Amino acid sequence: MFEKDMQNIFDIKESINKTINYTKDIHNFEQFEDNLLVIDAVLMNIVTIGESGARLSKDFRKHNDKIEWKKIKGLRNIIAHDYFGIDIEEIWQIMKYKIPELTLLIDEIIRKEYTSK
């Protein structure tokens, strides 16, 4: 695996951890919706996840196809280019369901990389 790919994976992991930390005390959509600072922080880190994912080599993405790289980049594009058209409830659903799933997959990639050496 290329060192550049692993650096991007670690950047993704860091942004995931930030979003989880920012929302750890938020238990429902209403609390999320009312906290504009947290929303902005989460959105910025989703953009970072999308940017880092886009920088991964094609071979890496192909080899790790359990992760929906195109959807991640697509969400990044929506946030970056249509900020006022973002569905905050959809972002909350992503935080509840997709981020935990992505965390497991990224952790698996990291674990494989460091146990294969």
Active site residue 111: no
Tokens of 101: 């799933």
**Which among 27, 55, 81, 111 is annotated as catalytic?**
81
Task: Determine which one of 27, 63, 76, 111 is catalytic.
Answer: 76
Cα–Cα–Cα angle for 105, 107, 111, rounded to 5 degrees: 120
- Check the CA dihedral 66-3-104-74 and report its sign: negative
Residue type, 106: I
Q: Would you call 76 a catalytic residue per the annotation?
A: yes
Is residue 77 within 8 A of residue 50, CB to CB? The reply is yes
Q: What 3-state class would DSSP assign to 21?
A: helix
Reported in sequence order, the residue ranges of the chain that DSSP labels E, i.e. its strands, are: none
Catalytic residues: 76, 81
